[in-house]
Amino acid sequence: MEKAKIDFDFAELRAIRQRAVGRLFWQLKRYIDNLMEPQLNSLGYTDFKMSYMMVISNVEEQGTTNNELAKRANVTKQMMSKMVSLLEKERYIYITKNPDDSRSSVIFLDERGKELLVDIRQGIDQVRVKLDGIVGHDRMEAFINTMVELVTALGREEQ
């Protein structure tokens, strides 16, 4: 079956790009990362990348397995294992054998990881003030509520 020839229009592409949801989310994340990483570097976290947040932010106080972290972050177990190894080496987390299943380990936040999360919270507050200043607090709250609703609904669909 032959595919119909479609005329490509750069003007149309530019118009679509302006409102492409994935691109907009990516740009916002990049902006936030670029704001946060220098702040963290100045506080001594020179070995931490914002992409590691998918690990750190999903560790529970009773510990979390690598498989659970991978599931929560929506990455492969291998990718999560690599990040866990890096973060353990830099003392953001520590790992113990799982008492319920000797085939797996449990990951906990180390003191440095807890300190990092406290410092990140302050940076997030600064980002929020900046975003509120651009669109207003109420619109930002509505935007966040909408994102939470979307992520929750889409997460249920994935299960």
Domain ranges of the chain: 30-158
Condensed to tens digits (0 to 9), the pLDDT of residues 22-52 reads: 999 999 999 999 999 999 999 999 999 999 9
Q: Which class is 30-158 in CATH?
A: mainly alpha
Q: What are phi and psi of 28, to 5 degrees?
A: -65, -45
Instruction: Note whether 50 and 123 are within 8 A (CB).
Output: no
Mean pLDDT of 55-80: 94
Distances (CA, A) of 28 to 33, 91, 104: 9, 29, 36
Judge whether residue 123 has pLDDT over 80.
yes
Whether 40 and 34 have beta carbons less than 8 Å apart is answered as no
Instruction: For residue 57, give the nearest of 69, 39, 71 by alpha carbon.
Output: 69
Comparing CA positions, the residue from 110, 127, 119, 124 lying closest to residue 42 is: 119
pLDDT band at 4 (very low <50, low <70, confident <90, very high): confident
Average pLDDT over residues 99-119: 93
Cα gap 98→65, rounded to integer Å: 8
Look up residue 66 and give its two tokens: 């690598």
Task: Give the Cβ contact number of residue 55 at 10 Å.
Answer: 26
pLDDT greater than 80 at residue 1:
no
